[in-house]
Amino acid sequence: MDQRQEVNITKALNDKREYKRLLLRNSLKVLLISDPDTDKAAAAMDVSIGAFSDPKGLEGLAHFLEHMLFYASEKYPKEDSYMQYLTEHGGRSNAFTDSEHTNFHFDVNAGYLEEALDRFAQFFICPLLSEDATSREINAVDSENNKNILVDVWRWSQLQKHLSSRDHPFHKFSTGNKDTLDVQPKARGVDVREELIKFYEGHYSSNLMHLVVYGKESIENLQNLVEEKFSAIKNTQRSRPYFPGQPCHSEHLQILVKTVPIKERHTLSILWPITPEIKNYKEGPSRYLGHLIGHEADGSLFCLLKSLGWASSLSAGETESSLEYAFFGVMIELTDAGQEHMEEIVKFIFQYLNILQKSGVAEWIFNEVQAICETKFHFQDKISPINYVMNIASNMKLYPPEDWLVASSLPSKFNPVIIQMVLDQLVPSNSRIFWASKQFEGQTNETEPWYRTAFSVENIKVELVKEWEDSQPDAKLGLPSPNVFIPTDLSLKQVEDKVKHPVLLRKSKFSRLWYKSDTMFFTPKAYIKLDFNCPESSSSPEAEILTNIFTKLLVDYLNEYAYYAEVAGLNYSIHHTGTGFQVAITGYNHKMRILLEKIFEKILNFDVKQDRFAVVKEKVLKNHLNLKFQQPYEQAFYYCSLLLEHCMWQRDEFLEVIPRIQADDLVKFAPRITSRMFFECYVAGNMTSKEAESVVQQIEDSLFNSSVPLSKPIFQSQHLERRIVRLDSGTNYYYPVEGLNEQDENSALHHYIQLEQDDTKMNVQLELFVLIAKQPAFYQLRSIEQLGYIVVLMKRNDSGIRGAQFIIQSTVKDPAQLDIRVEAFLKTFESKLHTLTDDEFKSNVNALIDMKLEKHKNLREETQFYWSEIDDGTLKFDRKEVEVAVLRKLTKEDLLNFFNNHIKLGAPGRRKMSFQVYGSSHVAEYKSAKSGEISSYESVVCNGKECALDGVDTEQLKDEKVEVVSSDKPVETTTELVGYHPKRIDDIYNFKRSQALFGSLKSGANQAYA
C-alpha cells in the first residue's frame, strides 16, 4: 500500500467527483474516480510500451498484440467472452497503439464494473494468444492497413517518418500488415505467435502500467476492487524503454519535399524540430506560439494569405511529440492560386516569425491565453467516462500526480525566456517543408515503401534561406488585438419555470421557439440552434450549391471578427441543410448575443465579393470531387441515403453544375434564398425563457418586420416535408455499383433492413435485437470469418424511419458474397435467439433500460437528443421514459415474433436492400453482378488470385444453400439458406419512383403539438 504523502490532485471547480491515487504492491500506478451520479463505469490501462519497441523485421507487433489481447484468457477461455460481456451490459471497448504506449479502455453500465474489471485484468495477467486466433487476427490487422493505405494523413505521417534518421524508431512503420507480420517472418522461419508471447512477457510488466478506474462505488470499494483484481499482474521490474536522440539530423532539415496526394488538394506544411512542450508545460511555449501563428483575425498570417486568395485554412502548433522530441508545424490548405506562390507564402510565415522576434514575448497575450485556459478547465463539460479515463491514463506517465487531470491544459507560469527559446527554433535552416499537390504527378522520383506515396526531396538553397531570414514584415502583419469575447460574467441564471423537457414557448407565422432551461449541468453556457426552411434553396442542384456557397461566404466574411469568439470558447456554425440553412451558437452565454447580432447583420447585408466567391466555389468543387476518395463503406452509406430520401440531389449532378456557376448567379439567387423563410429555434442552457423569446423577437424584427423586410413568411403549401421511400414488404433488393476510386481494392456492403415509422414497440424490439446480435455478428463475421476490419451492426434512423444496417468493408470477399455471409449469420443467430434463456433475455432488456435511462452528460449531448426529435418531427421528448415502460413489458416471444416477421431471411414483413460497392479487387465479380448471372457466386478472388470457394458452395447456392458458420465455436457447419432471391436494382431513380413513401412527420407552422 502506498504510505506516501497524499498529493492534492488539481481538479475543476465544478467537479464533484472524488479522486484517489494508489500504488499497488506490484508497482501498478492507479487513479480511482468515484462518481455516485454516473450511469456508466469505465477503466483504462495504459502500458508504457508501443510500436517503437517492435522488434526489427516485425513491424506492427505491438499493435498486433493489442488486437490479440481481446480474444481470450486462461480464466475466460471462451473466445470473445470479454466483448460479449461488455456488450450485453451496455458497454463497449477499444484500444490503440501509439509510439511509446498502448492504451486499452472500456465502459459498462455502472452496476457491472466488478466482473468487467475482472475480465479486463486478465488481459494483463494470463492472455491465451492461441495459435488459431493469432492466425485469424492477422487478417484484421491487414484489413486495417488496407483501410488506411489510400488516406493522405496516414501517407504523410509515414513520409515524415521515412525522411528521418534510420537509427531512430520514429523511422519505422508501426501498424503492420500481412507481409510484415506473417509472410516475411514465415519466410525467415520466425514463429510470430512465439514473438507475440515473447513481446508480452518482455514488456507487459505492472511497473510499466497506469490504470484509471471510474465507478459509482465509493473510493474504498473501488480500492478493494482494484487491489483484488490487479494485484496479480506480474512485476518483472522492466525499465521503461528510452529512445534518446532526435529523429531528424542536419540532412533531414532545410529540405523541400514534393509529394502527390490522393485527394484533390494542395497543402503546405512547415515543420521544425522543437523542445517538447511536455518539458515546459506550465510555461506553454508551443501553446503561446500556436495561438499567435494560427490566429485568423486582422493582422494574422492567415488573414493576409486569405486576402491574397492563397489559403483556405491554416493551423499551427505542436504536432508529433514525445518526451524526447517534438515538431512544431504550420499547416496550410492552399488554393489553386496559392499553389503558384509557395515561396512567397513561406516568406510570409518567416516575416510573421520575425514580427514575433521583434515585438518580444508579450505578457498580456500570455495572460489572455492563461485566462481562457483557466475558464475552459474550470467550466469543462463532463465527457463520457470511457474517454475521460482513456485521456487520464495516457497522461499519468507524463505528468506528476497533481497534474494528472490538468496535463498541459493550464499554462500558469509566464516565462519569456522559455517561449523565446522555442521561437528561436523556428528558423528557415531548421525547417522541413512538405508540399503536396496533384500537379507533382509524374515529377517525383521516389516512392515511400509502406504506402507507395510518390515524392521527391530537394535541399532548400542557402540564398532562399537567407532571403527568408532577412525578409522585412509586410505592413499588414501584426499582433492580434485584446480579445473582447472573453466572458467575464460566469454567473448562473435564476430560472423559475424549470422544465424536464423542452416546451414550445412561442409560435408565429415566421418561427417556432422551443426552450429548455438548464436543470442538469449548471455551467454558464448556452446553446442556440436556428434552422431556416427556405423553399427556394433546394429547388434544384444549382439552388442547393448556391445556398451552400451562400453559407460558406457568410462564414468567410465573419471569420476575422468571430475568430476571437472561437478562441474565447464561443463557437458558431452556419451551414446549408438541403432544405435551407442552419445557424448554431454554443459556448459561454455571456457574449453570445453580440455574436448572434453580428451574424444576422451579415445575413441582412449579404453581398457577393467576386474574389471570395471564386475561392469558396473552388473549395466546394474540391469537396465534391474528393467524395471519390471516401472509404467504400461510406460510399455504400451514401447510396442508401440516395435511395431512401425522396428528395436528394446526386453528386454527379453537383459536379456538373458547379463549374458553370458564376458570382452573378449568386447575386441573383441570394435574395431568393431569403425571400421567404420559416425558422425553428431551440434555446437551452443558461438562459431564461424571457431571454430566449427576446432572441427570436430580435431575429424576427430584423428579418421580417423592418420597413423593407428581407423576408416574408413561407406559404402554407411550402412548409417543409421530409419523406422516405417505403420498400415493399417481403422483398430482397440489391444495388451493385463500382467503387468511385478505381485504385481502391476494398469492396463494401451496406445491408439495410427497413422497419417502421417511429413505432414505440418496434423501436425497442429493434434496439434489443441490435444489442443482442451486435457482438455475435462482429465475432462471427470479423473474428472468425475475417471478412474485414470494418464489421458493424447498428440501428439507423432516417427522419423517424427506423432500420437495422450491417456494414462490412472487405478485400477478401466481394459484396454479393458478403451479403450472403450476413444472411448466413442471421440464420445461425435465429437458433441462438431461440435458445436464449429467460435470464439472458432479461439481462439484455435491463442493459437496454440502463442505457436508455443514462443521463445526458453535457449540454451538447442533451441538445442533440432533443433537436433530433424536433428535426425528425417525432417530438417525443419523453421518448426514453415511454420506451422503458414498453421494454419492461416486452417478452421473449415479442422479440422472436419481431425477428421472424421483419429480420430473418424470408420473413413476410422484411424489407431489405443491400448496397454493394465493388472495389478493384472484385472487378470481374462486378461484371457478373451487373449482368445478373448467378455465376458471380461461382468463383471468388482472394487477394488477387483465383481460389476455391471457402464457405460458399456453388452447387449448394443454386439450391439456395450456403455454408454457415456456427457462432459458438470457430467451426464451419452447413445450414440451408432458403429464400435468398435478391432482385437487382439498376436505376435508383426508376426504383424510387416505383415505391410508396412514408408520410412526413415534419409539417407546417400550424402543426398541432400536444
| Binding residues for Zn ion (CB under 5 A) | 144
User: For 471, which DSSP code?
Assistant: P
Beta carbon nearer to Zn ion, 144 or 745? 144
The least distance separating Zn ion from the CB of residue 19, rounded to whole angstroms, comes to: 31
The residue among 144 and 560 lying less far from Zn ion, judged by its C-beta, is 144
- Output Rg (C-alpha) for the chain, integer angstroms: 29
**Residue 917, phi then psi, degrees to nearest 5:** -100, 120
CA distance 635 to 637: 5
Could you tell me the CA-to-CA distances from 440 to 157, 253, 314, 456 in Å, in that order?
19, 21, 22, 9
Return d(Cα 733, Cα 905) in angstroms, integer.
12
Q: Which is nearer to Zn ion, 66 or 556 (CB)?
A: 66
Q: What angle do CA 879, 881, 885 make, to 5 degrees?
A: 115
Minimum gap (Å) between residue 217 Cβ and Zn ion? 32
Q: Which of 59, 66, 296, 785 is catalytic?
A: 66
Q: Distance between CA 950 and CA 877 in Å, rounded?
A: 49
Active-site annotation holder among 59, 88, 100, 137: 137
Shortest CB 447 distance to Zn ion, Å? 25
Q: Is 645 one of the catalytic residues? A: no
Q: Which residues contact 745 (CB under 8 A, 6 or more apart)?
A: 146, 811, 919, 920, 921
Contacts of residue 686, defined as CB under 8 A and 6 or more positions apart, other chains included, come to 492, 493, 518, 523, 524, 525, 526, 589
CB 518 within 8 A of CB 685: yes
Instruction: Tell me 659's DSSP state.
Output: G
Residue 339: Cβ within 10 Å count:
18
The distance of closest approach from Cβ of residue 66 to Zn ion in the complex, given in angstroms and rounded to an integer, is 6
Q: How far is the CB of 118 from Zn ion (least distance, A)?
A: 24
Minimum separation from the CB atom of position 50 to Zn ion (A): 13
Query: Nearest approach, Cβ of 533 to Zn ion (angstroms)?
Result: 43
User: Smallest gap, in angstroms, from Cβ of residue 79 to Zn ion?
Assistant: 18
Can you tell me the distance from the alpha carbon of 573 to that of 563, in angstroms, rounded to the nearest whole number?
A: 12
Please identify, using beta-carbon distances, which residue of 144 and 277 lies nearer to Zn ion. Answer: 144
Q: How many CA atoms lie within 13 A of 240 on its CB side?
A: 17
Cell of 820: 450472403
**In a 3-state reduction of DSSP, which class is residue 89?**
coil
All residues at 6 or more sequence positions from 195 whose CB lies less than 8 Å from its CB, including other chains: 55, 58, 61, 185
CA–CA distance, 36 with 18 (Å, rounded to integer): 9
Residue 174 CA: distances (Å) to CA of 73, 98, 164, 177, 1010: 26, 8, 15, 9, 57
> Which three-class secondary structure state does DSSP give residue 514?
strand
The answer to whether the CB of 520 falls within 8 A of the CB of 856 is: yes
State the residue number with the nearest CB to Zn ion. 144
Task: Tell me whether residue 18 is one of the annotated catalytic residues.
Answer: no
Residues recognised as catalytic = 66, 137
